[in-house]
Structure 1
Amino acid sequence: MNAAAPAPIPTTRALAWCLHLLVAALLALAAGRAVVDHRPNAGAVVAAALTCALAYAAGPALPGVRRSRRAAAVWLAVVGAAWLVLLVLTADGVWMAFPLYFLQLHLSSRRSGPVAVAVTAAAAVAGFAAHQGSFSAAMAIGPALGAAVAVAVVWGYQALYRESEHRRHLIEELTAARADLSRAQHTAGVLAERERLAREIHDTLAQGLTSIQLLLRAAERALPDAPHHASRHVEQARQAAVDNLAEARRFVVALGPPALEGTTLAGALQRLCATTSTRHQVTARFHLTGTPVPLPTAHEVALLRIAQSALANTVRHARATTADITLSHPGGHVLLEVVDDGRGFDPDDLPAQDPEAGGFGLAAMRARLHALGGTLALVAAPGHGTALAARLPLAAPDSEDRP
């Protein structure tokens, strides 16, 4: 009923109504017995009972009693004074001590509540003894036992309420944490999908468009003097566009690359070398060392994309005449090596990544390999060609197979 009191819930409201009914019943009992027994002070008893009832009823109607501990103390003092008057007039007033215990414990602090209860119990014992004209230990048992029960019930309820509030706060924190985790997972999923699309676009569409651009430039140069060669370059550019359209459709729905359909990684790499040699002025050769082993689709896709990206860089930047792709399986790993005889570069002086100029290839390769527990090694020097080695651990046959 004050700032320190528990917020009203259905259970506390039910208990409050039970307390109201108990007070009304005890006051009616005291007044009724005085009238029925034709006591000389029956009128005074009825007046004192009504005064006590009005003082008690004023408490729930006053908002200050529920908000301020000081206002609650004043109200309890008024109710207590009215009860003392009733106790002086009739011994039946002693029964009102029991609901007063609950009010005092509920509205007072944890220190002052038991003190008020003890004072009320002592007053009840003294008033009842005065009406009886004598005192015995039995007279103190009832009020003392009632006080002990009230203290145990109220303190037990407060402990349960604190535990309930603690659990409610924990549930709220857990709900908030789950919401934060859900948002974080959503954000991580969006970023992962964005990274996947970025890698696929770089390794397929971007490289394919570069190949088409180079073929069309070759056709443009050959058109005045060798229309037949120009026509062949245009046809190759058209086929490259068809291949890239198929790639685009498939990575949008997260399917494997068309180059791996119906063939192995070795077959796809062999075909990649043949296509590159046909379309560009680079002789690409494939070498298979050892016996091929089955690989998870994710491994095959990663190695194929790395080979595609490496060959595209060779065609576009290296000015190489030959490029060799070697696939081997040393000691529980699969190793892909791409070596060219181009002009090379300084690995410590790579250009910054730029949406117009590119520069995302090596970062995309490392990201693919890192996601699968692999490593990327690069050896290059100006004027001495480039060698790239991608190594992945061989997964168990029953491992998860997803790109």
Structure 2
Amino acid sequence: MHVTFFVLLGSSMARFVQRHGGEAHAPWVIALAVVLAALYVAGLYVTGPGRAAPAIPQLPPGARVPRPSARRLVWLGAVVVVWAVLVVLAPSFAWVAVPLFYAALRTLPPLAAYVLVAVLTVFVISAQLTLARRFDLDLVVGPAAVATFATAIFMYMQRQAARQRALIDDLVRTRRELAATERREGTLAERQRLSMEIHDSLAQGLSSQRMLLQAAERTWDADPAKARGHVRTAASIAEHNLTEARRFVHDLAPADLAEGGLPEALRALAAREGDERLTVRVHIDDPTGAPLPDLVQSALLRIAQGALANVREHAGATTAALTLTTLDDQVVLDVADDGCGFDPVTLPDAPTGVRGHGIPAIRARVRQLGGTLTIESAPGEGAVLTAAIPLERPSLPLEQPQ
């Protein structure tokens, strides 16, 4: 629209100079045209360098329309007055009013803008009739139709822009709420997983120690040898609980990632979890060797920890395998065991039941990174848990459950 203004102003001036350049008022017309151009350029900087006045936003019914700034009103008044005087002296400048329609609509409240557009249209019609020197209905209907069409187009664009702004605001707000909800769900699931692990290991061990020490106290005088056996058993359980507590601390702060990345962290995890009852093997298939994002590495390590905890506590397996496969667009972690197996359909979404209290936490981590979780198992046939995480996403969550 700015380009249109200067094109119309330049063509009107060229027509005037060509036909009336020798008349006495020609210098005044040229000077006014230059002043009008300068005023229009100055208006581009009224609300900031290089920016036109902001469009009137779409407001709810009954809301007050914000008043335009005083500088903007002064600028619009000066432009309209100079243009009106210019049209009186040289009617060929009348069509410059079309860009001024949009300037009025962008500056004034709707009702005031409609009135000003009507006034400008009257000036255009008068100028056209002056040039024609006779009445012609086309010269009345044409400018009025152009003004009406331009106003309708502008208002339609304003409504569409307001609707788009509202949709974008709703989308941004919804995405923020969804991200916050996913973070909360992941945090709750992780807390539930940790509470279940603490209950199944540390709490049960402490309860056993208490019962053994109480039994030792009751039998100390009557059977000292039996009492000392109870004490030794309680000490053994305490040592095991201390090992479990250290494992929890280590799992909550995965320092293995800082030493050699996810492959080394998985190997260290396998070494810790493996013993005479369970053998854990690790296989890495990474042809590219490119480092994974920190969030993905941390999430996969936590998934492996949770899956192995389930294998140790519930599967009764003798062998487990961790397989990390890096593809072009995703990374896949498989955790397989040769345990008793189960029916995946019976797995709860919430941490209830005997088997699978860590699955909700794993599922929350995978979902948070936009991945997929697949569990394949059957009673008596072991189980395979597969977590696939995409490597290219528009944005990854800023947080992960802790």
After TM superposition, the score normalised by the length of structure 2 is: 0.53
Residue 139 of structure 1 and its aligned partner are, at CA, apart by 0.7
1:13-44 C-alpha deviation (Å, 9 max, x unpaired): xxxxxx22222222222222222333413222
1:61 alignment partner, SS class: coil
Aligned partner of 1:77: which letter? G
Residue 174 of structure 1 and its aligned partner are, at CA, apart by 0.6
Aligned partner of 1:178: which letter? L
Bigger Rg, which one: 1
> Is the counterpart of residue 165 in structure 1 residue 165 in structure 2?
yes
Instruction: Give the structure 2 partner of residue 27 of structure 1.
Output: 9
> Is the counterpart of residue 230 in structure 1 residue 230 in structure 2?
no
Instruction: Give the structure 2 partner of residue 107 of structure 1.
Output: 107
Paired with 1:49 and 1:179, the residues of 2 have a C-alpha distance of: 57
C-alpha distance 296-215 of structure 1, shift in aligned 2 (>3 A) = farther
Instruction: Give the structure 2 partner of residue 48 of structure 1.
Output: 32
1:330-388 C-alpha deviation (Å, 9 max, x unpaired): xxxxxxxxxxxxxxxxxxxxxxxxxxxxxxxxxxxxxx9x9449xxxxxxxxxxxxxxx
C-alpha distance 258-171 of structure 1, shift in aligned 2 (>3 A) = closer
C-alpha distance 237-20 of structure 1, shift in aligned 2 (>3 A) = same
Instruction: Give the structure 2 partner of residue 317 of structure 1.
Output: none
Q: Percent identity?
A: 20
In the TM superposition, 1:356-395 aligns within 5 A as: 371-372=352-353
Instruction: Give the structure 1 partner of residue 206 of structure 2.
Output: 206
Paired with 2:176 and 2:196, the residues of 1 have a C-alpha distance of: 30
Q: Which runs of 5+ in 2 are unaligned?
A: 55-66, 249-304, 318-339, 345-349, 355-377, 384-402
Paired with 2:313 and 2:97, the residues of 1 have a C-alpha distance of: 89
Residue 177 of structure 1 and its aligned partner are, at CA, apart by 0.7
Instruction: Give the structure 2 partner of residue 221 of structure 1.
Output: 221
1:62 alignment partner, SS class: coil
Paired with 2:127 and 2:315, the residues of 1 have a C-alpha distance of: 100
1:80 alignment partner, SS class: helix
Paired with 2:243 and 2:150, the residues of 1 have a C-alpha distance of: 76
Paired with 2:122 and 2:314, the residues of 1 have a C-alpha distance of: 96
Instruction: Give the structure 2 partner of residue 343 of structure 1.
Output: none
Instruction: Give the structure 2 partner of residue 186 of structure 1.
Output: 186
Q: 2:41 aligns with which of 47, 57, 75?
A: 57
In the TM superposition, 1:315-330 aligns within 5 A as: none
Instruction: Give the structure 2 partner of residue 131 of structure 1.
Output: 131
Residue 131 of structure 1 and its aligned partner are, at CA, apart by 2.8
Instruction: Give the structure 2 partner of residue 268 of structure 1.
Output: none
Instruction: Give the structure 2 partner of residue 69 of structure 1.
Output: 68
Residue 136 of structure 1 and its aligned partner are, at CA, apart by 0.9
Paired with 2:343 and 2:209, the residues of 1 have a C-alpha distance of: 25
Paired with 2:343 and 2:124, the residues of 1 have a C-alpha distance of: 87
Aligned partner of 1:238: which letter? R
C-alpha distance 140-297 of structure 1, shift in aligned 2 (>3 A) = closer
Q: Give me the CA root mean square deviation.
A: 3.9
Aligned partner of 1:95: which letter? W
Residue 238 of structure 1 and its aligned partner are, at CA, apart by 2.9
1:231-265 C-alpha deviation (Å, 9 max, x unpaired): 34433443455467557867966347779948xxx
Instruction: Give the structure 1 partner of residue 91 of structure 2.
Output: 91
C-alpha distance 214-70 of structure 1, shift in aligned 2 (>3 A) = closer
1:135 alignment partner, SS class: coil
Check the 8 A contact 2:213/2:234 in 1, yes or no.
Answer: no
C-alpha distance 243-113 of structure 1, shift in aligned 2 (>3 A) = same
Q: Which runs of 5+ in 1 are unaligned?
A: 1-18, 223-228, 263-293, 299-367, 374-395
Instruction: Give the structure 2 partner of residue 195 of structure 1.
Output: 195
Residue 102 of structure 1 and its aligned partner are, at CA, apart by 1.1
Paired with 1:260 and 1:63, the residues of 2 have a C-alpha distance of: 70
Instruction: Give the structure 1 partner of residue 386 of structure 2.
Output: none
Instruction: Give the structure 2 partner of residue 332 of structure 1.
Output: none
> Is the counterpart of residue 36 in structure 1 residue 18 in structure 2?
yes
Paired with 1:256 and 1:210, the residues of 2 have a C-alpha distance of: 28
Paired with 1:236 and 1:46, the residues of 2 have a C-alpha distance of: 111
Residue 167 of structure 1 and its aligned partner are, at CA, apart by 0.9
Residue 58 of structure 1 and its aligned partner are, at CA, apart by 2.2
Check the 8 A contact 1:97/1:143 in 2, yes or no.
Answer: no
Residue 187 of structure 1 and its aligned partner are, at CA, apart by 3.5
After TM superposition, the score normalised by the length of structure 1 is: 0.53
1:116-148 C-alpha deviation (Å, 9 max, x unpaired): 112111110012212322121111233123212
Residue 218 of structure 1 and its aligned partner are, at CA, apart by 4.9
Aligned residues: 255
C-alpha distance 260-34 of structure 1, shift in aligned 2 (>3 A) = closer
Q: Which moved more, 1:154-163 or 1:250-259?
A: 250-259
Check the 8 A contact 2:104/2:117 in 1, yes or no.
Answer: yes
Paired with 1:154 and 1:371, the residues of 2 have a C-alpha distance of: 60
Residue 85 of structure 1 and its aligned partner are, at CA, apart by 1.4
> Is the counterpart of residue 177 in structure 1 residue 177 in structure 2?
yes
2:135 alignment partner, SS class: coil
C-alpha distance 76-260 of structure 1, shift in aligned 2 (>3 A) = closer
Check the 8 A contact 1:246/1:258 in 2, yes or no.
Answer: no
1:277-330 C-alpha deviation (Å, 9 max, x unpaired): xxxxxxxxxxxxxxxxx99699xxxxxxxxxxxxxxxxxxxxxxxxxxxxxxxx
Instruction: Give the structure 1 partner of residue 270 of structure 2.
Output: none
Higher RCO structure, 1 or 2 (CA under 8 Å, sep 6+): 2
